Amino acid sequence: MLTTEVLDTVGGLTSHLKSFAAKLPPVVHLSSLPSGVKPSFEAVDGYETIVSRARSQSAGTPYKSLNESLVSSLEAFEIGNLLGAVQPLLSALDHLERMQRDKEIEMGRTDEKRLKEYRTALHKVLPGNKPELDGAGQGM
């Protein structure tokens, strides 16, 4: 498994999260259950396929340490916990950066750019990350 393949995995999972986030209501009331809206069976199946493929390909590579984060993300995605699905992927990206910094893996400029793009996309998916709400709660 190469860094490019790991980033392909994160990109695929990010795409699923973006699709799911687009279906959520813009405002979630505190009285509603966080798992009230769940992804479709097909979306969960696609997410699970990506995670399973990554887990099988990462065996015996430096990337096997990312498996726990991928599984945590899958488990959260299955129940509709968007925040719980995004955070492990952000942790996996942090881990990839540490691995590169510690010279455990090689990462080219293209891969570095993709990593930053996925991090930005995941931050945009996080609940409460809406530009129209910037400054909200800071008074007049």
pLDDT in tens, 104-117: 998 999 999 999 99
* Residue 129 or residue 104, greater confidence: 104
Q: How far apart are the first and last CA of the chain?
A: 52
**Model pTM score:** 0.83
pLDDT band at 133 (very low <50, low <70, confident <90, very high): very low
pLDDT in tens, 49-65: 999 999 999 988 999 99
Taking 70 as the threshold, does the pLDDT of residue 83 lie above it?
yes
Domain map of the chain by residue range?
3-16+40-126
pLDDT at 27: 61
